[in-house]
């Protein structure tokens, strides 16, 4: 057996049998014919000792994957989906477990493994013999944390695999083999052949991994989503020079993914790749305020401009924090963390119902303007209580409501 990282071949089956998530294993194995084997990320993660919330299992059978999958699904009462009827690829979904079953496409197991994307995903666990089969030295690459492919043609068969390299950098902290780096640079343009939704999904995986920063820096370095001049725009920051420790762990998990997305894709790219309207709107606002502050110093903003900034960016200010001057970041974060800070979290002492009830005005633009005015007054501590709010509202209406002859 090639490789040294994995000394006890029985560990895989032991882990399967012990796994509470996989309590139906015996029922599943009972329907598998001789010559079936486990392969892919599930085996890889067991070898690495990596636990994931969602369990994805890949099983290869010699023949009749659809028939076998249907029997298993019926027996354990799970959802059954035919992913590819011609090639006979099916999926069984049970709680947090997703099991893909496919027919062997080559005359030999080794031939099948040689057609997979990376060596680390080409390690098979032979169920009959209860041992690992590793013809491509995937175990060695796991040991050295190296991402390699047996054949570049395998990647071109599905160009999304080019992007998946960065996902493994992000999730596993792996290095990319130098030959693979050259291949990525030459063939990144072929990503346009891939369905936009699949690219979107892969980007989400990249920006949410434990080593997302490392992966995103490489994505920018190789200009995966643009031309050589793509990141010349001042909005795209030097990610290696940022002090991310200014954010606490919760803020990092919540806000850094959106920050990274905005740092590798412009608005047009977000639209093309089917990102949500909310993500696109958020990036537009980040860009709007970045470029406004490029032209005007924050100290020069009027009260109304500063209030508008916090009103528009309130929900995701930590995503914007790195676009601020260094000397302001800590103070802004501290104030943003204080939910009672009425400038960083605009609110109101009155709502539309109370204003209409007490001041006898109707719905319309005037009501909206009045609420905005009162919220801004509260933000700058020129309001303290309900009575003051009613008084100021009356004064504002006297000065701003349309006069009738």
- Nearest CA among 34, 58, 31, 54 for reference residue 44: 58
Kindly report the CATH number that applies to the domain delimited by 11-144.
3.30.460.10
- Please check whether the two domains, 11-144 and 147-278, share a CATH topology: no
**What is the rounded (10 degree) CA torsion for 280, 282, 287, 290?**
-170
Edge-to-edge strands of the sheet including 89-94?
A: 79-84, 89-94, 97-103, 55-61, 37-39, 124-126, 131-133
**What distance lies between CA 344 and its chain's CA centroid?**
27
pTM score of the predicted model: 0.90
User: Residue 39: which region, alpha, beta or left (left: phi > 0; alpha: psi -120 to 50)?
Assistant: beta
Would you list the domain boundaries of the chain?
11-144, 147-278, 352-400
How does pLDDT run along the chain (405 residues), one tens digit per residue?
333 344 455 666 666 556 544 555 667 888 999 999 999 998 999 889 888 888 899 999 999 999 999 999 999 899 999 999 999 999 999 888 899 999 999 999 999 999 999 999 999 999 988 889 999 999 999 999 999 999 999 999 999 999 999 999 999 999 999 999 999 999 999 999 999 999 999 999 999 999 999 999 999 999 999 887 899 999 999 999 999 999 999 999 999 999 999 999 999 999 999 999 999 999 999 999 999 999 999 999 999 999 999 999 999 999 999 999 999 999 999 999 999 999 999 999 999 999 998 888 889 999 999 999 999 999 999 999 999 999 999 999 999 877 654
- CATH architecture classification, 147-278: Orthogonal Bundle (1.10)
Extract the tokens encoding 62.
């010699």
Q: What is the DSSP string of 188-206?
A: GGGGGGS-HHHHHHHHHHH
For 55-192, list the strands marked E by DSSP: 55-61, 79-84, 89-94, 97-103, 124-126, 131-133, 146-147, 175-176
Q: What's the rounded Cα separation, in Å, for the pair 205 and 168?
A: 9
Element of type H or E holding 273: none
Q: What's the rounded Cα separation, in Å, for the pair 311 and 392?
A: 21
How many Cα atoms occupy the beta-carbon half-sphere of 122 within 13 Å? 26
Q: What's the rounded Cα separation, in Å, for the pair 82 and 84?
A: 6
Burial of residue 206, with CB atoms counted within 10 A of its CB: 0-12 exposed, 13-18 middle, 19 or more buried: buried
Q: What's the rounded Cα separation, in Å, for the pair 359 and 397?
A: 9
């Amino acid at each position: 057996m090639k490789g040294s990282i994995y000394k006890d071949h029985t560990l895989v089956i032991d882990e399967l049998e012990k796994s509470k998530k996989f309590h139906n294993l015996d029922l599943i194995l009972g329907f598998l014919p001789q010559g079936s084997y486990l392969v892919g990320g599930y085996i890889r993660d067991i070898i690495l000792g990596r636990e994931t919330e969602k369990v994805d299992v890949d099983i290869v059978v010699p023949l009749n994957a659809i028939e076998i999958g249907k029997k298993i699904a019926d027996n354990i009462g799970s959802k059954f989906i035919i992913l590819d009827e011609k090639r006979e690829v099916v999926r069984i979904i049970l709680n947090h477990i997703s099991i893909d079953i496919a027919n062997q496409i080559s005359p030999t197991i080794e031939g099948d493994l040689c057609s997979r994307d990376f060596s680390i995903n080409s390690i098979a666990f032979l169920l009959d013999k209860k041992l690992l089969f590793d013809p491509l030295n995937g175990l060695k690459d796991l040991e050295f944390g190296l991402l390699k492919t047996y054949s570049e043609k395998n990647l071109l068969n599905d160009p999304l695999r080019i992007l998946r390299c960065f996902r493994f950098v992000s999730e596993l902290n792996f290095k990319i083999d130098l030959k693979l780096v050259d291949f990525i640079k030459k063939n990144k343009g072929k990503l346009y052949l891939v369905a936009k939704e699949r690219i979107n999904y892969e980007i989400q995986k990249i920006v949410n991994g434990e080593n997302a920063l490392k992966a995103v820096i490489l994505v920018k370095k190789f200009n995966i989503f643009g031309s050589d001049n793509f990141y010349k725009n001042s909005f795209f920051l030097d990610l290696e020079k940022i002090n991310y420790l200014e954010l606490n762990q919760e803020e990092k998990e919540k806000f850094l993914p959106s920050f990274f997305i905005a740092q590798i894709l412009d608005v047009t790219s977000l639209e093309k790749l089917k990102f949500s309207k909310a993500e696109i709107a958020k990036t537009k606002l980040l860009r709007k305020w970045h470029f406004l502050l490029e032209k005007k110093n924050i100290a020069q903003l009027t009260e109304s401009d500063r209030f508008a900034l916090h009103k528009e960016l309130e929900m995701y200010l930590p995503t914007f924090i790195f676009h601020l001057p260094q000397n302001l970041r800590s103070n802004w974060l501290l104030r943003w963390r204080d939910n009672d800070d009425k400038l960083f979290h605009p609110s109101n002492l009155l709502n539309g119902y109370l204003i209409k009830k007490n001041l006898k005005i109707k719905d319309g633009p005037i009501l909206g303007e009045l609420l905005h005015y009162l919220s801004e007054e509260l933000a700058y501590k020129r309001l303290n209580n309900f009575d003051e709010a009613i008084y100021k509202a009356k004064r504002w209406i006297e000065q701003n409501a349309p006069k009738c002859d």
